[in-house]
Amino acid sequence: MLRSILKTTTLIATLAAAPAFADSHAETGNPMVGGAAMFADKNIVENALNSADHTTLVAAVKAAGLVETLMGEGPFTVFAPTNAAFDALPDGTVETLLKPENKDMLTKILTCHVVGANAMSDAIRGMIDDDGGNHPVPTLGGCTLQAKYDGDIITLTDETGGVATVTIADVKQSNGVIHVIDKVLLPGEKKADAMETTIEMADEKMAEGDNPMVGGAPMFADKDIIDNAVNSADHTTLVAAVKAAGLVETLKGEGPFTVFAPTNAAFDALPAGTVETLLKPENKDMLTKILTAHVVSGKWSAQDIVAQAKKSRDGFYHFQAVSGDALSAKVTPSGAVYIFDESGNAYEVTIADVNQSNGVIHVIEGVLLPK
């Protein structure tokens, strides 16, 4: 169905015009969007409801059942297409997507506009610079966008080759940031089909025992991250922490997620009493922050990470965790992969590419800490 709706859609554009920058609202300091003031103490949905330029997006978010998600804690970065962007789709596309029977398809498209981190435009430009002019942006929908910039203009290329321009940047929200864009970003169906086929074949093979053993237990590619982690004798502390933080349901979700999983020994290496303190109910927010600093949106194999690191000018691949914290990956001449946290600690990936039904786990030898 998605192919039939989208195959006539051509979103490849040459963007020569500079974006129209919005006036800032005197009281909020945030840019005005759709004629309305945007308040940094309100969440993404509360602000979007007031924009006259985003009524179609709001209707789509409601139809997809994503209101509660985007009113959640986040943080999220939302690339928000205007009504005009939806109007530019082929006749009947929006109406078809809003039908209840097409909810999964609509959700896929909308979540291809959402990143599980708070990425302001300066941070995006920095990541583009670090990656030599083109930064891959994995989204919660499993799509990967390509970010570039020219002067003040940031563009995003979707998996079909469609190019969107950020026309209003850095609209701060209580749970993230909105960047207004002038095109609807679409998943690349042919690429997705080929990837799904490849993953299915790999999953079948790995479910038979070709996945690495972790903590003395077989890991099954047809089970989710939690179902596998609970069987690893080396990850009992991590599992206890995930339960205490209330993240079990999240990590059993569709994802995909890339999880850098510290071993029991990694937690034991923290100062005495640290784990016990973090597991106390009153420290749940702090524990959640640390754990989500180990989770990245999208499924990133070791080969993907190595390829990005080798392409960058400084030899690092810089990316963001779901917590919003910065991570960096470095490959040694021997081929070992190290993950750096914001505090400058570096930990080796000791077991890579443990495929899951909703992502991939890479076992690491230390706990990644926000600065």
Residue ranges covered by each domain of the chain? 2-187, 199-364
Higher pLDDT: 12 or 46? It is: 46
pLDDT at 158 (0 to 100)? 92
Query: Contact at 8 Å (CB) between 28 and 203?
Result: no
pLDDT at 207 (0 to 100)? 42
pLDDT above 90: residue 164? yes
pLDDT above 50: residue 289? yes
Q: Which two tokens stand for residue 214?
A: 């972790």
Q: What mean pLDDT is predicted for residues 295-313?
A: 88
Query: Contact at 8 Å (CB) between 109 and 66?
Result: no
- Tell me if domain 2-187 and domain 199-364 are identical in fold: yes
CA separation for the pair 362, 26 (Å, rounded)? 47
Nearest to 113 by CA among 172, 41, 47, 166: 166
Reported as a pLDDT band with limits 50, 70 and 90, residue 18 is very low
Query: Contact at 8 Å (CB) between 194 and 61?
Result: no
Percent of the chain scored above 90 by pLDDT? Answer: 61
pLDDT above 90: residue 194? no
Q: What mean pLDDT is predicted for residues 246-251?
A: 94
Q: Which CATH superfamily is domain 2-187 in?
A: FAS1 domain (2.30.180.10)
Reported as a pLDDT band with limits 50, 70 and 90, residue 210 is low
Per-residue pLDDT tens digits for 73-116:
889 999 999 999 999 998 888 998 998 888 989 999 999 999 98
Reported as a pLDDT band with limits 50, 70 and 90, residue 333 is confident
199-364 has which CATH code? 2.30.180.10
pLDDT at 311 (0 to 100)? 82
CA separation for the pair 297, 320 (Å, rounded)? 9
pLDDT at 140 (0 to 100)? 87
Higher pLDDT: 258 or 190? It is: 258
pLDDT above 90: residue 275? yes
Percent of the chain scored above 70 by pLDDT? Answer: 87
Burial (CB < 10 A; 0-12, 13-18, 19+), residue 1, is: exposed
55-94 as b/e: b if 16+ CB within 10 A: ebbbebbebbebbebbbeebbbbbbbbbbebbebbeeebb
pLDDT above 70: residue 228? yes
Whether the full predicted model's pTM is greater than 0.85, yes or no, is no
